[in-house]
Amino acid sequence: MKRHWVASFTITQLFFSSCFKILDAMLITRTQRTEVYDYFSGQLGYRVLFIECVCDDPEILEYNQQEIVRHCADYTGVDTALATEDLRSKIAFYAGIYEPMNDRTYPRIKINTATMDIETCKVSGHIETNVLGYLGDISLKPHTLYFSRVNSSSFFILYDKYFYAL
């Protein structure tokens, strides 16, 4: 129920600004990807590009898990051993139902973050090729990225209140 509400809210937000949007989601099954593609491409006419990051290097995975346990708000104040066990159980759950994006149905970019190998399928257009160029230039060194939701600013909060009042 919550997942569908969040998806509906996110889809609603897509209509309120520029032509480039990111839907950050765990689309781990072919069925989920098909639903997203059919809705955004088929019903709304958007161009869709899936981006999948994979890593099978045990050292990198272990390091990333330690960083998540150390810095993620979900684990603040939680015993490190319990947090690590919880994270590993989540990973095991999703690994059990994950279906790789190895079909050639949708436009996609697949990046192996351990080797920085990039595999593409049906990538075309100005925005998509720019995204590919950006992803191909990522540094493997730890660094901080800052993201902001456009509609989180005070301007857009006022805009949304005005728009919904109409």
Over residues 8-55, the pLDDT tens digits come to 555 555 555 556 677 777 888 999 999 989 988 898 888 888 988 888
**In this structure, is residue 68 part of a structural domain?**
yes
Query: Does 165 map to a domain?
Result: no
Q: Which of 105, 63, 106 is nearest to 87 (CA)?
A: 63
The domain in which residue 89 lies consists of: 17-140
Contact 55, 112 (CB under 8 A): yes
Q: What is the pTM of this model?
A: 0.68
Residue 24, by phi and psi: left (phi above 0), alpha (psi -120 to 50) or beta? beta
* Domain membership flag for residue 149: no
Q: Is residue 3 part of a domain?
A: no
In a domain, 161, yes or no: no
CATH number, residue 74: 3.40.50.300
**pLDDT tens column, 70-98:** 998 999 999 999 999 999 999 999 999 99
Rounded distance between C-alpha atoms, residue 47 and residue 87, angstroms:
34
Task: Tally the domains of the chain.
Answer: 1
| Residue 49: inside a domain | yes
HSE (side-chain half, CA atoms, 13 Å) at 79 = 3
